[in-house]
Structure 1
C-alpha cells in the first residue's frame, strides 16, 4: 500500500511539474521591454517640436499608431508583445505641446502608449518611428514620437508649367522619388577653397531636381527643404543619417532614394564625377549607372565611374538607392562650376534624366 501511495505522489508531482512548465511557457515574458524614457523640446526651422524617446530591450518592434476618435487630443501607440519594465506608468511632459503620457497593458502581452497633446491632434504634426541602436553613443533601439507645436505645413503642389520642353522626362510620371540633399544645418559638409559649402550646393541641386521631377508628373519626397539638420539638434552622425533613411521608409510609395553630395580630397587637383551604390539587388547599380552616364554627358567632367560603397544611407535603404558625388568642391575649377546656377541646373537635370532612363529600363 505504501508503495502505491509513493508512486501516486511521484506521478502527481510529475503532472504538476509539467503543468507548471506549460503555464510558465504560456505566461512567458514579452520579447520587448521598455528600458529608458527621455523627452526634450527643440526648434527646427523655426518650428518647436517635442521628441519622446523610449529605449527598448531589443529591436524589430511591431507597433500601430492611431488617434482616439472619442478624445481627439489623444495619440495612441500600441506596442505589440511588450511590457512596461521600470518606466513609470504616468509621465508628465512639457505641458506646452503635450501634457502627459500613460502606459497601460491592453492584454497579456501588448502595451498601449497614450500621449495627450495640449489641444487637438489636428493642431499638431506628429511622426512615430523607430531608430536603430547606436553603440557609439550608448543609445538602445528606440521608439521615437515627434510632435510639433503646430499643424503640418501645406503640401507644395507640383508645378506643371515651369519646365521647358527640352526637359520633358515622361518616364518619371506617376513615380515617387526620395531626394536627399547631403549634409545641412550644423553639418556644412566639405568646404571649397573659396569657402563654398557642400550643404548649400547639394540643397540647390536637390531643389532643382525636385522641381524638374514634379514638373514632369513625379511625386518627390525631400529629406530637407532648407538648411536644417534632418534629425534635429544634438544628433549623432548615425541618428542624422538614419533620419534621412526614415524619411523614405515612412512613405511606402517611394521607389528610389537619391542622395546628392560633392566630393572632396586633400589634393586640390582631384577631379571628376562619380556615383555610388550598395548592392542589394541589380537595380542599385543600374540606378547608379544611368545617373552616372547622364552626369558625365551633361558636365563633361572626368568619368570616375560607379562604385560599391558602404555609405550608411545606401546600406540601410530598403529600396534601390544611389549617392551622387557631383564634382570635387576642393578643386578650384570644379568649385566654380558647383557655385554656378547654370551648372547646378545641368547637374539636377542630368540626375533627373538618369532617373528617367532607369525607370524606362526596368519597365521594358
Structure 2
C-alpha cells in the first residue's frame, strides 16, 4: 500500500474511533440538514440484518470490478467471506480524507488485520482491523463518491457453489454533476406521480383479486394530497382508470406518454408507483428502483425506500439500479417504487387497506422531503 494512503487510513482510524464513540443512528437521520459533504453521513444498514449467535470470523476479503451493462454502471465490489451471519453499518467521512468506514458487528478478522490495494479509480485501498468482537473495514474513496453510490448487503451460504456467508460492499462510479439545484422543503416543488398501469392494463392481480392498477391510483392520490398540503404542485399521469396514451397502445407508447407528462410540466421529480409480484407466493417486502442519470436518482431512491420501510414496516428489499423506461427517459430524478408484493396474500390484504395505503403515502412524502433537505445541504 502507498505510504500516503496508509497514513490517511491510520488518521481515519483515529477519526472513526471518535466518531463511533457515539451510538450509531438510524440511516441518514444522523446527518443534520445543514451539514456539507465534509461531514459524516450514515449509510444504509445491511438489508437483512441477522443476529449473530456467536462471534464469527472473516476468513477472506477480495475485490473485483463489475459492470452492469443494462444500466451502464461500473462498480467496485468487495466480498468478505464470513463463517456465519453478521450485521453491518457504515458511514462516509470526508475528513481528513474521504473514506467509507464499515462497522462489522459480531465478526473478527480470522487472520489478523489486513490491507488490500483496490482499483485506484473508485477506491484506493482497504484496511480491515479487529476491535473486540467486531471489525472495521475502511476504504479510501476517490473524491466525489457519495452515500448513495454505496450499497452494503449480505448473501446467505450457497452449499451447491461451496460459498460461505458473505458480506458485500458495492461502490459505484460517481455520477456526473446532476445539473439540478434544489432548495429544502416541498413548497413550490413540481412533482409528477405515475400510478402504475390503468385502463386496459390491470397490472398484477393478487390471489384475492386485488388489482395493482387500483392500489397504485389510491396511493398516488394520498401522496398528492400530502404533497399539496405541504405546498407542492402535483400532477398525475392518470386520474382515473384510464390508459395514458390510449386504449390498445403499444407498451412503449404508453410508457412514453407517462414520461411526456413529467417533461411537459418540467417536473422536479417523477415517482412511479407500483405493487410487486412474483411466482413465489412467499415473496415479500418493499423495494425502489432508479436509473443512474445523475447522483440524485440514487439519492431519491435511497430516501424514499427508507421512508416507506420506516412507515410500512415491511421487509426492506433495498434500492437498485434498473433499466425501467419511465425512470430512464425522464430528464429529472426519478424512481419506481414497489410498495409490497400483491402476489403475497398477507401483503395483498395490506395493499387493499386504506390505512396502509395512507401509511405508505406518508413514507413516500417523508422520503421526498428528506431528499430535498439532503440535496440542498450538499449544494451549500
TM-score (norm 1): 0.53
Match of 1:318 in 2: 331
1:342 aligns with 2:361: no
Q: Give matches, 1:18-97, under 5 Å.
A: none
Alpha-carbon distance, 1:234 to partner: 2.0
1:206 aligns with 2:220: yes
Using the alignment, how far apart are the partners of 2:185 and 2:354 within structure 1? 25
Alpha-carbon distance, 1:341 to partner: 0.2
Using the alignment, how far apart are the partners of 1:226 and 1:354 within structure 2? 25
Using the alignment, how far apart are the partners of 1:261 and 1:334 within structure 2? 13
| CA offsets 1:36-69 (integer angstroms, 9 cap, x no match) | xxxxxxxxxxxxxxxxxxxxxxxxxxxxxxxxxx
Using the alignment, how far apart are the partners of 1:292 and 1:285 within structure 2? 10
**Contact persistence 2:186–2:369 (CA under 8 A):** yes
RMSD: 0.8
Using the alignment, how far apart are the partners of 2:197 and 2:272 within structure 1? 10
1:250 aligns with 2:264: yes
| CA offsets 1:219-254 (integer angstroms, 9 cap, x no match) | 0011011110000112100000000000011122x1
1:296 aligns with 2:312: no
Aligned partner (choices 174, 189, 192) of residue 203 of structure 2: 189
Secondary structure class of the residue paired with 1:307: strand
1:235 aligns with 2:255: no
Match of 2:176 in 1: none
Q: Give matches, 1:6-21, under 5 Å.
A: none
State how many pairs are aligned.
Answer: 194
Using the alignment, how far apart are the partners of 1:228 and 1:197 within structure 2? 14
Alpha-carbon distance, 1:260 to partner: 0.3
Using the alignment, how far apart are the partners of 1:346 and 1:296 within structure 2? 10
Using the alignment, how far apart are the partners of 1:287 and 1:202 within structure 2? 19
Secondary structure class of the residue paired with 1:305: strand
1:259 aligns with 2:272: yes
Secondary structure class of the residue paired with 1:306: strand
Using the alignment, how far apart are the partners of 1:309 and 1:284 within structure 2? 11
Secondary structure class of the residue paired with 2:209: coil
Alpha-carbon distance, 1:171 to partner: 1.4
Alpha-carbon distance, 1:200 to partner: 0.1
Q: What 5-or-longer segments of structure 2 have no aligned partner?
A: 1-183
**Contact persistence 2:193–2:271 (CA under 8 A):** yes
Q: What 5-or-longer segments of structure 1 have no aligned partner?
A: 1-169
Using the alignment, how far apart are the partners of 2:313 and 2:236 within structure 1? 28
* Bigger Cα Rg: 1
Using the alignment, how far apart are the partners of 2:303 and 2:248 within structure 1? 37
Using the alignment, how far apart are the partners of 2:265 and 2:220 within structure 1? 19
1:180 aligns with 2:194: yes
Alpha-carbon distance, 1:218 to partner: 0.3
Secondary structure class of the residue paired with 2:273: strand
Which protein has greater RCO, CA pairs closer than 8 Å, 6+ apart? 2
Match of 2:366 in 1: 353
Match of 1:106 in 2: none
Using the alignment, how far apart are the partners of 2:293 and 2:245 within structure 1? 25
Aligned partner (choices 286, 290, 298) of residue 273 of structure 1: 286
Using the alignment, how far apart are the partners of 2:375 and 2:312 within structure 1? 25
User: Runs in 1 of length 4+ with deviation above 3 angstroms?
Assistant: none
